[in-house]
Amino acid sequence: MRGKVVITLGVCALLAGTLGVASGEGAKGAACTPGVIAYGGTKALVFCGPTKAAVLAAGKTIRYSNGRCERRQQYLRVDVGTKMLGKTTQPKPEYFGLSIGRTPGFADPPATKDGAYSGAVIAVAHDGVDLVPEGRGKVVLRANRTKGTFSIKVAGKFVTGSFTC
């Protein structure tokens, strides 16, 4: 029985970390409630916490807030806003996502320290559409992997930006 309790607690901790609540990056007041929600005929994942991002595309700066950073030994994952988990019938909500390193299920090289990396998975949704459909770009990590800048080429133009955990 004890083994089952440990496994159950581990799964709960993993889910809480995914939603940004286990690491102290939980919702600030009632303005943001992390978790899975119904949205436009499918489900979406709402992220909350202090993480912010800024994206520069076509001369316009787009700011994102209410997100979380998941820093693990071999990877960094940044999620800000609301990520769609399926196809929707509604305009997409605001979302910025970036992951770099050996995330679970992928064999990418680890991102264990500050520095420049290629192969970052970047996705940006703004004004109801995918501004940056999930693709691969470059990232520079700083401040013990709590800050960074990124760039990705989309339709022949560069989209750049920054994030802070």
For residue range 113-141, list pLDDT tens digits in order.
999 999 999 999 999 999 999 999 999 99
List the beta bridge partners of residue 95.
81, 125
Q: Do 64 and 94 meet the contact criterion of CB atoms below 8 Å apart?
A: yes
Of 72, 76, 82, which is closest to residue 48 (Cα–Cα)?
82
For the cut 80, the answer to whether the pLDDT of residue 20 exceeds it is no
What is this structure's pTM? 0.81
Provide the residue range defining the domain that includes 35.
2-164
Burial of 118 (0-12, 13-18, 19+ CB in 10 A): exposed
Of 147, 103, 96, which is closest to residue 122 (Cα–Cα)?
96
Cα–Cα distance, 158 to 116 (Å, whole number): 17
Q: Total domain count for the chain?
A: 1
pLDDT tens, 53-97?
A: 999 998 999 999 999 999 999 999 999 999 999 999 899 999 999
